[in-house]
Amino acid sequence: MAEPYTILKVMGPYREPREPALSFDYSVQRATWATPQGVRVKIGLQGELDMLKAKMQLESEGTPGQQLRINQILGRAIADCKLDIANAEHLFDERRDVMIMPFTESLSHLFPRLESWMNQERNKLRQDIAEKVGL
């Protein structure tokens, strides 16, 4: 069973300079650790973010500013989910800085769990976007 953790701070999203990805930097703490550790979660633009937007039919809705806000909201939701999946898979049990890559290539076996979460949370995320963005 995965050990519980507490998110102390989240920063981002950041645009990764040489890859089609966004990233969020988390400061996480476990009860057994003396100090927090950093976890960077990367979100693939095409494989993860755009797929969720397509499932929610949000690809072309809104102004450029609204699209930016939608990307921020959905990106953070995906990053939070990926952090939970990574914890369940024991990817950051040790106290050291960790990077969680997009769930493609070497981590593609985790993608079905992310996709399942996307299908379950679609309506909740759509409502959150309607309230915060006005779409």
Q: What's the pLDDT at 38?
A: 94
Integer Cα distance of 130 and 82 in angstroms: 23
In a domain, 17, yes or no: yes
Q: What's the pLDDT at 97?
A: 81
Short-list 37, 27, 35, 50, CA closest to 96: 37
In a domain, 79, yes or no: yes
Q: What's the pLDDT at 86?
A: 94
In a domain, 25, yes or no: yes
Q: What's the pLDDT at 96?
A: 82
In a domain, 119, yes or no: yes
Q: What's the pLDDT at 56?
A: 83
Q: What's the pLDDT at 118?
A: 92
**Number of separate domains in the chain:** 1
Q: What's the pLDDT at 62?
A: 80
Low-confidence ranges of the chain (pLDDT < 70): 1
Integer Cα distance of 127 and 104 in angstroms: 28
In a domain, 1, yes or no: no
Q: What's the pLDDT at 39?
A: 95
Range of the domain at 20: 6-133
In a domain, 106, yes or no: yes
Short-list 113, 61, 67, 115, CA closest to 91: 113
